[in-house]
A and B are shown apart, each in its own frame.
Chain A
Amino acid sequence: MAEPARKLEVGDEVAVQIVGMNKWYGEFHVLRDINLTVYKGERIVVCGPSGSGKSTLIRCINRLEEHQAGKIIVDGIELTNDVKRIDEVRREVGMVFQHFNLFPHLTVLENLTLAPMWVRKMPKAEAEEVAMTYLTRVKIPEQAKKYPGQLSGGQQQRVAIARALCMNPRIMLFDEPTSALDPEMIKEVLDVMVDLAQTGMTMLCVTHEMGFARQVANRVIFMDQGQIIEQNSPVEFFTNPKSDRTKLFLSQILH
């Protein structure tokens, strides 16, 4: 199993490098000594119990959360307090959220064209063309003129993915993209994500969808209490977990 993942190439170019990173919320040490190198074209699934810091970790990569110690280098740019660098990184890193975070006062098309037009200074016609291409790719071009509130959860999440892709990012972050969806809508979103993985996009995905991990991930990372406990290929991770905490976690989520 998990053969399709093998066929995808992983480059030796580094996309994200995290070295000795630590983060605190006040007194609370949420991320402890994180070291992680993500290569171009990798599909990494981050899993772990709730409160383990997995969402915080990927939110640090586009500086939605600040880290206090260590280094994060994204696409050759080190994240510091410098607003310009943060903006540069955010232009190259797309993000999909658990609750979609679409802009409810804009139509689907406007949601998609806003950032290309204002951040990339793309002409409106071109931005709309790009937007329609991605809407077609996530299979909802007919919803372009509707407002997000008129769509189902699955459709909204697909719009959110298309919105991130419109900025033509080099890295995509997924923060529990299917956790807020009804069961019958999870598949349509996962299909889009699998599709995206086939194109060779570098992906970091926090999810509990172990089927997805098996199918597309080339690496699974297990986190607990702010630390990376174990990382391995999906086959090894699911069939032969090394750490007791991983075994406990897997026994709880796989029935």
Chain B
Amino acid sequence: MAADPANLAYVRTEEAPLLPPPANEAGVRGWLIKNLFSSPLNSLLTILVGAFLIWLIWDTVKWGLFDAVWTGENREACTGEGVGACWPLIWDKFPQWMYGFYPIDQRWRPNLVFLIGGAALIPMLIPSVGGKLWNAMFLLIFFPLITIILLSGGHVNFLAQTYAAVIALLLLAAVIVPIAAFGLEDGLQRNRPGIILAAAALLVWLGGFLVDTPSISIGFARVNALPFFSMLLAFLAGVVSLKVALADNSGAGRSALKGWALIAGGLLLAMLLLDIDFGLEPVETSQWGGLLVTLVVAVTGIVASLPIGILLALGRRSKMPVVRMFSIVFIEIWRGVPLITVLFMSSVMLPLFLPEGVNFDKLLRALVGVALFSSAYMAEVVRAGLQAIPRGQYEGAQALGLSYWQMMAKIILPQALKISIPNIVGNFISLFKDTTLVSIIGIFDLLGIVQAGLRDANWASAASAPTGYFTVALIFWVFCFGMSRYSMFIERRLATGHKR
């Protein structure tokens, strides 16, 4: 018999009472039952894992605290039977772990760098502190300069040729000013003479490698003819291009020119600053070491890889075939090579290709290698973020008339980078740890200096190596864990009300 709807009709007349949850759902007991003892198998696993953890923690504590040696002058202190950690080793070696072979009387310089860096970084990391733009400018432009001058002593002594070459390059770069101002097609058309001159300059410069030309005398110095002519051409190209940019009455040309002048002026100013003799004792980079080098390599890699990676990721998704091909080739080459190989290439092979007399610092070469290597990885991380942004966001921005760079800077990248934060920070962390590989080309980073210290006959004991490695692991862990927690904090902060 079918149910009669009239019999099933129902109207609620009184509210059902709100009751507390049953005991095994709430409170400590509820938590324990739910998370640790929800089934016989889980209870067994809880007990086994718990026992293992207790054993592990107890042994570590016993090794590091109860059985540890706390005082001593040399290995004698740590050679006894059943000795745990050998802490006097750390007290003795710690300065070296921080600074490597940096001259002892000059160690105030890295200390000052640490201090300035920390003082500038902390307000940068706290969202509520204002003046982020100035803070970032200081950290990205002035702090690196201060660091280089303080740590190396400055007074680089650039040659006159170097200045001339840099100025020629900057003027050559001015060729793109009209393109930046008026777009690719229009810019190329307006600046045809400038581009022809620039191409000629490049050709003449390349010719200088192939043909030996007589040197000519210009007033005070004798210079090689071809490079001199190429500089002249570059100079002309720059002047012509800048005139093209200025000739236009719309603000675009002028603002592009301003941008170029700012970069060119800044670069020359930086060179001059590095050139000045501040009276600091020069310290070769081969004397740098320990945490100092680890931080220099890691921070350079981190700071350089994000912008380069973003540009490469945008390039890889660009509609312009040349840009896209370049990005793909760059990314795939660097990602296809192990970091160790990159470091070996930079230290062993690169000098073979450079012209005689040109020599870059070993640490600098490693820095460039690490930065480019991590940029390639960063590019793929950012690209993944870009791909997660729905097409509608691009269309919404385009329909409003935003230009490509406005769209990227204001709409796409803020969202893409937010999605990518976990992976970006993951990259930072792995880069930070990968810096230990520089020890393979004879740069004493934190791990390298710890290992070197362990070979010291004065401290040779069975307890030394575990103590050293344990401490170095702890230092790395503190940095990486810090980055990880900070990224989680930023993620939570940016997640307000953004769900779609």
- Do A and B pair up? The answer is yes
CB-nearest residue of chain A to B399: A95
Question: From residue 151 to 200 of chain A, which have CB atoms closer than 8 A to chain B?
Answer: 163-164, 167
User: Is B414's CB under 8 angstroms from A105's CB?
Assistant: yes
> How far, in whole Å, are A102 and B400 apart by their CA atoms in the complex?
11
Q: Which of A87, A90, A104, A146 contacts B415 (CB 8 A)?
A: A104
Q: Which of A84, A95, A105 contacts B498 (CB 8 A)?
A: A105
Stretch at the interface among A9-17, A38-46, A114-122: A114-122
Task: Give the most central of B393, B399, B498, B500: most A CB within 10 Å.
Answer: B399
Q: Is B411 an interface residue (CB 8 A)?
A: yes
Q: Is B403 an interface residue (CB 8 A)?
A: yes
Q: How many residues of A contact B (CB 8 A)?
A: 31
Q: Is B418 an interface residue (CB 8 A)?
A: yes
User: Is A103's CB under 8 angstroms from B500's CB?
Assistant: no
User: Is A119's CB under 8 angstroms from B401's CB?
Assistant: yes
Question: From residue 391 to 416 of chain B, which have CB atoms closer than 8 A to chain A?
Answer: 392-393, 395-403, 406, 410-411, 414-415
User: Is A90's CB under 8 angstroms from B400's CB?
Assistant: yes
- CB-CB under 8 A from B186, the residues of chain A are 84
Q: Is B499 an interface residue (CB 8 A)?
A: yes
User: Is B183's CB under 8 angstroms from A167's CB?
Assistant: no
- CB-CB under 8 A from B415, the residues of chain A are 103-105
User: Is A146's CB under 8 angstroms from B497's CB?
Assistant: yes
Q: Is B249 an interface residue (CB 8 A)?
A: no
Q: Is B496 an interface residue (CB 8 A)?
A: yes
A38 to chain B, nearest CB (A): 18
Q: Is A248 an interface residue (CB 8 A)?
A: no
A86 to chain B, nearest CB (A): 9
For A124-162 the 0/1 string (1 means CB < 8 A from B) is: 000000000000000000000011111000000000000
- CB-CB under 8 A from B494, the residues of chain A are 105
Known A103-B411, A149-B500; contact A97-B398, beta-carbon cutoff 8 A = no
B407 to chain A, nearest CB (A): 10
Known A64-B395, A104-B498; contact A114-B183, beta-carbon cutoff 8 A = no
> How far, in whole Å, are A123 and B81 apart by their CA atoms in the complex?
77
CB-nearest residue of chain A to B409: A118
Known A64-B399, A163-B400; contact A97-B499, beta-carbon cutoff 8 A = no
CB-nearest residue of chain B to A84: B183
Question: From residue 160 to 216 of chain B, which have CB atoms closer than 8 A to chain A?
Answer: 183, 185-186
B141 to chain A, nearest CB (A): 25
- Known A84-B186, A95-B399, A97-B392; 19 more pairs at CB < 8 Å: A95-B395, A97-B395, A100-B392, A101-B393, A101-B396, A102-B396, A103-B396, A115-B401, A118-B406, A118-B410, A119-B401, A119-B402, A146-B497, A147-B496, A147-B497, A147-B498, A148-B500, A150-B497, A164-B400
Known A83-B183, A104-B498, A105-B498; contact A119-B399, beta-carbon cutoff 8 A = no
User: Is B392's CB under 8 angstroms from A101's CB?
Assistant: yes
- CB-CB under 8 A from B410, the residues of chain A are 114, 118
Residue pairs across A and B with Cβ atoms less than 8 A apart, 10 shown, are: A90-B399, A102-B396, A103-B393, A105-B498, A115-B400, A118-B406, A118-B410, A119-B403, A147-B498, A163-B400
B112 to chain A, nearest CB (A): 39
Known A97-B395, A115-B401, A163-B400; contact A149-B497, beta-carbon cutoff 8 A = yes
User: Is B183's CB under 8 angstroms from A119's CB?
Assistant: no
CB-nearest residue of chain A to B415: A105
> How far, in whole Å, are A82 and B411 apart by their CA atoms in the complex?
23
> How far, in whole Å, are A168 and B411 apart by their CA atoms in the complex?
21
- CB-CB under 8 A from A95, the residues of chain B are 395, 399
> How far, in whole Å, are A147 and B500 apart by their CA atoms in the complex?
9
> How far, in whole Å, are A101 and B500 apart by their CA atoms in the complex?
10
> How far, in whole Å, are A87 and B494 apart by their CA atoms in the complex?
31
- CB-CB under 8 A from B496, the residues of chain A are 147
B415 to chain A, nearest CB (A): 5
A164 to chain B, nearest CB (A): 7
| B interface list, Cβ under 8 A from A | 183, 185-186, 392-393, 395-403, 406, 410-411, 414-415, 418, 494, 496-500
> How far, in whole Å, are A84 and B184 apart by their CA atoms in the complex?
11
> How far, in whole Å, are A28 and B499 apart by their CA atoms in the complex?
37
> How far, in whole Å, are A150 and B496 apart by their CA atoms in the complex?
10
Known A83-B183, A118-B410; contact A164-B401, beta-carbon cutoff 8 A = no
CB-nearest residue of chain B to A163: B400
CB-nearest residue of chain B to A63: B398
> How far, in whole Å, are A104 and B411 apart by their CA atoms in the complex?
9
> How far, in whole Å, are A64 and B399 apart by their CA atoms in the complex?
7
> How far, in whole Å, are A115 and B401 apart by their CA atoms in the complex?
7
CB-nearest residue of chain B to A83: B183
For A185-225 the 0/1 string (1 means CB < 8 A from B) is: 00000000000000000000000000000000000000000
- CB-CB under 8 A from A147, the residues of chain B are 496-498
> How far, in whole Å, are A252 and B397 apart by their CA atoms in the complex?
36
Task: Give the most central of A82, A97, A103, A150: most B CB within 10 Å.
Answer: A103
Counting from the closest, the 10 A-B pairs by CB-CB distance are: A101-B396, A147-B497, A115-B400, A95-B399, A101-B392, A90-B401, A91-B401, A119-B401, A149-B499, A104-B498
User: Is B497's CB under 8 angstroms from A62's CB?
Assistant: no
- CB-CB under 8 A from B497, the residues of chain A are 146-147, 149-150
User: Is A87's CB under 8 angstroms from B401's CB?
Assistant: yes
CB-nearest residue of chain A to B251: A121
User: Is B499's CB under 8 angstroms from A167's CB?
Assistant: no
Q: Which of A90, A105, A115 contacts B418 (CB 8 A)?
A: A105
- CB-CB under 8 A from A93, the residues of chain B are 399
Q: Is A226 an interface residue (CB 8 A)?
A: no
- CB-CB under 8 A from B411, the residues of chain A are 103, 114
User: Is A104's CB under 8 angstroms from B500's CB?
Assistant: yes
A148 to chain B, nearest CB (A): 7
> How far, in whole Å, are A39 and B339 apart by their CA atoms in the complex?
64
Question: From residue 58 to 111 of chain A, which have CB atoms closer than 8 A to chain B?
Answer: 62, 64, 82-84, 87, 90-91, 93-95, 97, 99-105
> How far, in whole Å, are A97 and B398 apart by their CA atoms in the complex?
12
- CB-CB under 8 A from A105, the residues of chain B are 414-415, 418, 494, 498
> How far, in whole Å, are A100 and B392 apart by their CA atoms in the complex?
8
- CB-CB under 8 A from A94, the residues of chain B are 399
